[in-house]
Amino acid sequence: MQRSGGPVGRMMGGGRPLPEGADRPLDRRTLCRVAGFFDPYRRELGLAIVAILLGAGLGLAPPFLLRRIIDGAIPARDLAALNRDVALIVAAAVVAGLAGIAQTYLSTLVGQRVMRDLRNALYAHLQRLPLRFFTTTRTGEIQARLASDVGGVQQVVTETAAGLVSNLITVVLTFGAMWLLDWRLALLALGLLPVFLLLTYRVGMARRRLAGTTQRTVADLSALAEETLSVSGVLLTKTFGRQERAVTRFQAESARLADLQLRQQMVGRWFRAVITTFFAIAPAAVYWVAGRLIIGGGAGLTVGDIVAFTALQGRLFFPLGQLLNVQVEAQGALALFDRIFAYLDLPVTIADRPGAVDLDPASVRGQVRFRDVRFAYDGADPGSGDDRGSGDDGTAAARRPFALEAIDFVAEPGQLVALVGPSGAGKTTVSLLVPRLYDVDAGAVELDGRDVRDVTLASLGRAIGVVTQETSLFNASVGENIRYGRPDASDAEVAAAARTAAIHDRILELPEGYATPVGERGYKLSGGEKQRVAIARVLLKDPRVLILDEATSALDSANERLIQAALTPLMRGRTTLAIAHRLSTVLAADLILVLDRGRIVERGPHAELLARGGLYARLYSEQFAPNRARPKVVPAPAADD
């Protein structure tokens, strides 16, 4: 399989750099895509805006009622008017509070559903991406996009977006009310607004750049933790004595993240301090200017006007400050949206073609045919006549970009076809093309005479079963791992599959039987036990085509015999492609294909290939010849006295 392809976690298939959100310019397309996630909830958004308008409108009533009290009820000693205006102030506050509760509920509801849709869309898209993407991207990087980046925009989506609308409406209505009271004082109060907006925009851009860098550092930290704190990672660091090095690397990344987060928090703090000071000084300026106008006569202002205006001014400054802060937060969130959209924009290169056929599992015979297949992991020109070789890991050899070239064979229904050859010959690559984990560059892979690219991926997956050397188990119970082969299987069917795979009795010996958790990646089970669980899973699936990729090469002799016994009923009646370094596992194959440097160099049954004396005979001799030359042990010369 392909295991490298450029800088880890920053490359896509084919070696192209993965776009980072913070490096992409902000444009209308990003804003429109964000808005698109809100589109299904227009009714809820409309109700939320009605609640915002109601609350903002009622919030304007108290200053005007206060002016009536100061200029009318108190000087006239009108107790009834005083009681009425005070009651109206209380009623306006209560209704505005209820409107605020409704607005909070609706905006939070919409925000959470948008977050759910965003997470679901990202996860679903990741599931559709080709294997090439996952072999060139760190798992921690992917997890950071799905968890940290999506979580990073959650507050903006659930709270800030609603606050933006609410505060904007409040500012507009309040400014209108202030203008009605006195346009001169309104201009005085808002004269410095353009300067503050410009400064805020610059702060927001700096915050956005820092947010993108911070999230990349979070991804690096997540990837490092995932690599070193998994069971295999801990085993590696302990057995190589690299714990201190791992701690040092983690501490360095953690310190970098802390510094970035500190800088992100401090950006704009001085600016907000200036705003706060301005908000405190502004009422004093209003009192001074209004007082001079009244003292000078002819201003048309009353004491009630000044009190109402300063009350409105206080109501204006808070949402205005919130708007400025929202702009800074939104700029940072847009960097995270860009990172999420960068993944959503990755092309799905392996997908169902228009008109793809959905295979009926009962009708699949299981004939597998390769027609002059060429394939390169790096997308080399399939028309090239170069004859250089490449290995199973997808790394181009010294002279040729192709992993496979001119591969042509037929596996008839029910046949066992063995793929053998030296390491790096292309055996695993052949097996990856059958279930369309990769697509060929030239030629075709066919199932029952139909190009696999003309078959739906779902039905192709149902028709093919795979057992690999590196067994993948979920951190769930043994029974759940087996039932993954067919989720609707009964307990009796699960037990029957385990019995056929020679693992049923061992499962019953576990503390909780089939309900026993297997641990992360199945580490509570031995290698042989994991393999037999994987075989039981495939047995339950009952595929027509079976791929065995080095299923026993990492096991001892005793476990190998157990696995071989479990594989025998699994292969019976199925078309099987078996890849093995241990030639003992393929002696009974109907057809043996010998690969070398991405080409089939020999083919035929075991006895014929052995008699031919070619590469297969040499590989067989190296493993089984009884008189293999052994290195002679030469005693060291005695030391001089």
d(CA 401, CA 379): 9
Residues forming CATH 3.40.50.300 domain(s) in the chain? 361-624
Collect all residues with Cβ–Cβ distance below 8 Å to 279 and sequence separation of at least 6.
317, 321
Fold of 17-344: ABC transporter transmembrane region fold (1.20.1560)
Neighbours of 344 (CB within 10 A): 15
- List Cα–Cα distances, 498 to 93, 481, 558, in angstroms: 69, 11, 19
* SS3 assignment, position 473: coil
For residue 88, what pLDDT is reported?
A: 93
Residues forming CATH 1.20.1560.10 domain(s) in the chain? 17-344
d(CA 508, CA 288): 88
d(CA 626, CA 232): 37
- List Cα–Cα distances, 50 to 91, 102, 114, 237, 402, in angstroms: 18, 10, 20, 59, 63
What is 107-150 written as a DSSP string? HHHHHHHHHHHHHHHHHHHHHHS-HHHHHSS-HHHHHIIIIIIH
| Mean of all residue pLDDT scores within the chain | 79
Q: Which two tokens stand for residue 597?
A: 């440097």
- 371 contacts 408 by C-beta, under 8 angstroms: yes
Residue type, 101: I
Q: Which two tokens stand for residue 200?
A: 């805020």
For residue 274, what pLDDT is reported?
A: 61
Exposed/middle/buried for residue 95 (C-beta within 10 Å: 0-12, 13-18, 19+): middle
* DSSP classification of residue 594: E
User: Which residues of the chain, if any, have pLDDT below 70?
Assistant: 1-27, 192-205, 207-208, 230-232, 235-236, 238-240, 268, 270-279, 298-299, 321, 324-325, 327-329, 331-332, 379-401, 551-560, 581-582, 584-585, 624-641
What's the pTM?
0.69
Q: Which two tokens stand for residue 252?
A: 């360095």
Residue type, 489: A
Sign of CA dihedral 335, 339, 342, 348: negative
* DSSP classification of residue 425: S
Q: What's 361-624's CATH class?
A: alpha beta
For residue 233, what pLDDT is reported?
A: 74
- 501 contacts 572 by C-beta, under 8 angstroms: no
For residue 508, what pLDDT is reported?
A: 92
- 60 contacts 173 by C-beta, under 8 angstroms: yes
In which residue are the tokens 């993954």 written? 484
